[in-house]
Amino acid sequence: MLDFGGQYVRNIERTLLEKGVSVEIVDYKVSTRLLLRRGVKGVILSGGPYSVYDKNPPTCDPQLFRLGIPILGLCYGHQLIAHLHGGLVKKGRRGEYGFSELSLDNRNPLFHGLSSKEICWMSHGDVVETPPKGFKVIASTPESEVAAYTLENRIYGLQFHPEVSHTPNGHVILENFAFKICGCARFEWDIERFTFEAVEKVKKALGNARAVIAVSGGVDSSTAALLASKAIGRNLTAVHIDHGLMREGESVEVVSLLKKLGLNLVFVDASERFLSALEGVCESDKKRLIIGKLFIEEFEKVAREVGAEWLIQGTIAPDVIESTRGEARRTDRGHGGLIKIHHNVAGLPSGMKLKLMEPLSQLFKYQVRALARKLGLPAHISERQPFPGPGLACRIAGPVTAEKVTLLRKVNVKVEEELERYKPSQYFAMLVNNLKAGESKLSASIAEKHLETHVKAYVLQDESVGVKGDSRVLGRIITLEPEDCGSWSSTSWINILRMQNEVTGSIAEVCRVVASLAWRDGGKYGVIARAVDTLDYMTAIPTRVDFARLSRLGESLLNHHEELGFFGFEVTTKPAATIELI
Ligand code: XMP
């Protein structure tokens, strides 16, 4: 696979590996001679945060197309193949971010085993408007007429992403490409072997040295801790830091849980330090960097006390992928334009003295859960919903204050209680300022079309983080207030998804759409409930909820907390929004 810097490069790799296809990621400039020497059976051109009309867009060796081996271009790869063969790539009428409905020719070998209508996941601004001469269109969506093409069933391009879990049958397409079209042989990948090798690797690297492991109590760090303790036993010290941004009662729970697992544990209450360092900080990445730096300082203190040379972290693949800047994508730190600085990756200070070990950095969340089960972690940890390292700071817009943290903690208990019934992959409350920058007439008219009632659409003043076409965006939040709140319940879920797609696709600076469920005049803050279904947290779809129940919760929260001016439920997919607010 030629890496053009797309955020899903590792998803493609994982999907193929799990299906038993041997795959190697190489720089997009790789020489065709090298590919020939390696005897590759087929080539994938990944997506990337570029347009073929950028100044000096990344491109592959044109000889590649003369080798006679199968080639599959995905997203940017699809546009690049079309462009290099004389097709026409253009800016789409509007971007497509998230779910889209695909009509396809399932007689083509690439689509064997699929229905003629499938759901697919998109994240792009440009589209192939006219395919090159001789290329046949084999799939379309309402926004991309050329959603897939082929030249003689050997060269293929797909505008959508078959590698993400929200293209439910995308894995079939990748399997068809590898086995039916390229004729690859199948090999086995298994968790048993991974576990054995990971433990051996830690043992070998650390020998008799001591290590500290940062444990938040989440599945990643708990699994990494158990794996590391299997490797180095009592030479491992687990450190849990309360940064003052944990949920209600969480640190107490985590400490008791880690003790039960039999780990050496040091607990540090650093809440005042973190909160005072965050005072007045608005910018999302600044918050993340401050938190990352303070975490490391605290770890280094404990490491000095216990004589540890190593820091072990439960970093997983998406943390690395999303934290990596475009220019660094060809280093071993991962792929993808910068989406978020995860405190445990890009947040690490350059002068860190501890040696770093990240035994899970190749895995996605569902694989970590499988590993956790294999290591015997109790179900309430292995199946636990993720909670980000920077904690509630990821869910507060604008500066983090003790007042906001206390309010969000209280509200979050109620929101989690309500959303738990749907068993989403992740569910929580976020706090924004109840300040409106203005109205959005376009969003209102899109919403009115789907909700069939008069709608007021407001743009909030706060910015939040989104992801569009493999690139990070600092975007706006739109809240939709329908005249008849019952229209949320009476509108089909698919239409609500179409609506948010249209809003984020039509307005470049918007990355979140919120269904307002209760509001009143005044109140400094607004609460946005979020619940998403996802497998690997790289793409996500809002969980289908009962809006009438949620409205009642909203009313009750507004009655109990006079600081609140509105309550809503976020209906945006990832992309265009990320899961967390910032
Ligand atoms: P986003 O918001 O990027 O989140 O769509 C994807 C998943 O990662 C979690 N997340 C983090 N986890 N440190 C973490 O340990 C972080 O800085 C961080 N940021 C996001 C998020 O909760 C979701 O599950």
Residue 331 has a pLDDT of 37
pLDDT at 334: 40
Cα-Cα-Cα-Cα torsion 359, 361, 367, 373, nearest 10 degrees, comes to: 30
Q: Which atom of ligand 1 is nearest to the CA of 288?
A: 17
pLDDT for the residue numbered 188: 66
CA-nearest residue, atom 14 of ligand 1: 388
User: Token pair of 294, please?
Assistant: 């303070």
Q: Please tell me the distance between residue 247's alpha carbon and the centre of ligand 1 in angstroms.
A: 15
Instruction: Give the dihedral sign, CA 389/262/365/530.
Output: negative
For ligand 1, atom 20, the nearest C-alpha belongs to 388
Count of beta carbons in the 10 Å neighbourhood of residue 109: 13
In ligand 1, the atom with minimum distance to the C-alpha of 465 is: 2
Cα–Cα separations (whole angstroms), residue 235 to 201, 216, 564: 16, 19, 49
Burial class from Cβ neighbours inside 10 Å (0-12, 13-18, 19+) for residue 564 reads buried
CA distances from 450 to 139, 392, 436, 485, 497 (A): 26, 33, 23, 13, 10
* Closest residue by Cα to residue 579 from 511, 506, 493: 511
Grouping H, G, I as helix, E, B as strand and the rest as coil, residue 346 is coil
List, edge to edge, every strand of the sheet that includes 148-151.
26-27, 2-3, 43-45, 71-74, 155-158, 148-151, 136-140, 88-104, 117-130
Expressed in angstroms and rounded, the spacing between residue 97 Cα and the centre of ligand 1 is: 19
CA of 36 to the centre of ligand 1 (A): 40
Secondary structure of 278-343 as H, E, C letters: CCCCCCHHHHHHHHHHHHHHHHHHHHHHHCCCEEECCCCHHHHHHHCCHHHCCCCCCCCCCCCCCC
Q: Whose CA is nearest to atom 22 of ligand 1?
A: 388
Closest CA to 321 of 511, 539, 505: 539
Q: Which residues of the chain have pLDDT under 70?
A: 188-189, 321-347, 349
Residue nearest to atom 17 of ligand 1 (CA): 342
Nearest atom (ligand 1) to Cα of 341? 17
How is the chain split among helix, strand and coil, in percent rounded to 5?
35, 25, 40
From the CA of 72, how far away is ligand 1's center (Å)? 30
Distance (Å) from CA 197 to ligand 1 centroid: 27
Ligand 1 atom closest to Cα of 577?
Answer: 5
Sign of the torsion formed by the C-alpha atoms of 487, 554, 399 and 251:
negative
**369 CA to centre of ligand 1 in angstroms:** 16
Residues involved in catalysis: 75, 161, 163
Q: Is 177 helix (H, G, I), strand (E, B) or coil?
A: helix
Measured N-to-C along each axis, helices 441-451 and 493-506 cross at an angle, to the nearest 10 degrees, of 160
DSSP state of 65: G
CA distance 303 to 355: 11
| Nearest residue by C-alpha to atom 10 in ligand 1 | 388
If you take atom 21 of ligand 1, which residue's CA is the nearest one?
A: 388
Write down the pLDDT at residue 94.
78
Q: Ligand 1: which residue has its CA nearest to atom 3?
A: 578
Distance 405 CA to ligand 1 centre (A): 18
d(CA 389, CA 313): 11
Pocket of ligand 1 (CB under 6 A): 319, 322, 340, 342-343, 386, 388-390, 394, 426, 537, 574, 578-580
Residue 210, C-beta contacts closer than 8 angstroms, at least 6 positions apart: 232, 235, 236, 237, 306, 307, 308, 309, 310
CA dist 582 and 567 (Å) reads 18
Domains of the chain: residue spans and CATH = 2-181 (3.40.50.880), 191-382 (3.40.50.620), 396-570 (no CATH)
pLDDT at 118: 95
| Ligand 1 atom index nearest CA of 322 | 3
Report the SS3 class of residue 231: helix
Q: Which atom of ligand 1 is nearest to the CA of 394?
A: 19
Which residues does residue 455 pair with via DSSP β-bridges, in sequence order? 482
Taken in order 163, 166, 170, 175, is the CA torsion positive or negative?
Answer: positive
Question: Are 343 and 292 spatial neighbours (Cβ–Cβ below 8 Å)?
Answer: yes
What pTM value is reported for the model?
0.82
Distance 419 CA to ligand 1 centre (A): 19
Among 97, 579, 582, say which to mutate for ligand 1: greatest number of ligand atoms within 8 Å of CB: 579
**CB 517 within 8 Å of CB 489:** no
Nearest residue (by CA) to ligand 1, atom 6, is 537
d(CA 406, CA 393): 12
DSSP secondary structure code for residue 566 in this structure: E
Q: What is the DSSP string of 491-537?
A: S-HHHHHHHHHHHHHH-TTEEEEEEEEEE-S--SEEEEEEEEE-SSS
The helix or strand, by DSSP H or E, that contains position 37, with its residue range, turns out to be helix 32-38
